[in-house]
Structure 1
Amino acid sequence: MALSQVSRSVRLLLGQIQRFIKADQTNSSQPEPSADENEAVNPTFVNRNPRNLEQMALAVKDRGWKTTWPHREFYHRLMFSRSQHHVTAQVFSSCSPIPVLSCSTKEWAVKKELASTNCVAACQAVGEVLAQRCQQAGITRMVYRAIPWTYRSDSVQSFRAAMKAGGIILSEPRRKYVGS
């Protein structure tokens, strides 16, 4: 009996030694990473952010005709309008006539919080909601040129103040020209 127990323990010990040797061989077969490989830069770079040049003020702005109003030299333009019944604000890109972002008192989520859909408080609410949507979309700078005779009205001023309080800058940086 004692001999069978010794032979069993020897077999278990040999099995553990063989497993240890196999594990050591598999670990040694993988090459060690070097510091140079981690710092290597890919020679072909693809810009996955199409607005990168725009955010650095290097992208081309479409100038349009000098006689047209409003001017076409912008990356994003904010349009604010009031009708008899509703307030609407839209953000347009320079390359598309379709609005990128919009907010209106016609939307049920905005309308249900307001007593009236065309008062100064409605303009402020539309400004706050649109500023939040712009922040979520990553648009923090845009051009806003109000019609001169409506610029001083309380509704336009409250809309502008709400946009500025939401972190939106209502002017764009001048385009930078890189020397050729």
Structure 2
Amino acid sequence: MALSVRVLLSQIQRCRPILAANQTARCLSQGAAQAEPSEEENESVNPTFVNRNPRNLELMALAVKDRGWKTVWPHREFYHRLEFSRTKHHVTANVFSSNSPVPVLTCSTKEWALKRDLYSTGCVAACQAVGEVLAHRCHQAGITRMVYRAIPWTYRSDAVQSFRTALKEGGITLSEPRRKYIDN
């Protein structure tokens, strides 16, 4: 193997003066001249457009909201829905999409990152911490508006109010715009 490498190197050294004299060598040649783009090509619009952002219509409030039945609670007319639950041991918040039964985002005091900084995992301070962390995660996911319908008999509690204020201070709007209808 070493012998073949030496032979190759000697052949390269012998050809080097020839390459310097001959400018048509491949390594010294210049690239082919490219044609100038015409102005008509730059200004033309593609006749077919594919929207690659699945949430684009949702952000413009043009996407279809599944209405469901009027008698179903909680209502199904939303893009994203916030569900907040509090037990005597833990606080959990989930964000659901309209077309998926699996939560898009979750935050709970069962997570060690939250649990280690809290004295109690079911108190008002825990609700506020869950609200702050969920607001941060929502911003990272690009969700800034969602529907939150609290259960009426728990709405006025201090824990739920601290959770709501933490979300609002984090920049989350707890209502969605009405759907816009375009006349064809």
Q: State TM-score, norm by structure 1.
A: 0.83
Percent identity over the alignment is: 77
* Structure with greater helix percent: 1
- Structure 1 unaligned regions, length at least 5: 1-14
2:55 matched residue in structure 1: 51
1:68 positional shift: 1.6
* Cα distance in 2 between the residues matched to 1:120 and 1:58: 38
1:1-180 matched pairs, under 5 angstroms = 29-180=33-184
Unaligned runs of 5+ in 2: 1-20
Superposed displacement of residue 23, structure 1: 6.8
Aligned-pair CA distance for 1:76: 0.5
**What secondary structure is seen at the aligned counterpart in 2 of 1:148?**
coil
The Cα offsets for residues 92-139 of structure 1, whole Å up to 9 and x where unpaired, read as 011111101000000011111111100111000000111111111111
* Amino acid in structure 2 at the alignment position of 1:60: V
CA distance in 1, matches of 2:114, 2:43: 51
Structure 1 pair 40–23 and aligned structure 2 pair: CA distance change class (3 A): farther
- How many Å apart are 1:39 and its aligned residue? 2.8
Between the aligned partners of 2:29 and 2:97, the Cα distance in structure 1 is 60
The answer for the alignment partner of 1:5 in structure 2 is none
Structure 1 CA distance, aligned partners of 2:158 and 2:43? 57
What is the number of residues matched between the two proteins?
Answer: 163
Worse overlay, 39-48 or 138-147? 39-48
Cα distance in 2, alignment partners of residues 110 and 136 from structure 1: 18
Q: Distance in 2 between matches of 1:54 and 1:116?
A: 38
- CA displacement at 1:44 relative to structure 2: 1.6
Give the Cα–Cα distance (whole angstroms) in 1 for the partners of residues 143 and 160 of structure 2: 21
| CA deviation vs aligned residue, 1:43-75 (integer Å, no higher than 9, x gap) | 221111111111111111111111121111111
CA apart distance, 1:40: 2.6
Amino acid at match of 2:159: S
Give me the whole-angstrom Cα distance separating, in 2, the residues matched to 1:96 and 1:104: 20
Measure the CA separation in 2 of the matches of 1:23 and 1:106. Answer: 66
Bigger mean CA deviation after superposition, 37-46 or 57-66: 37-46
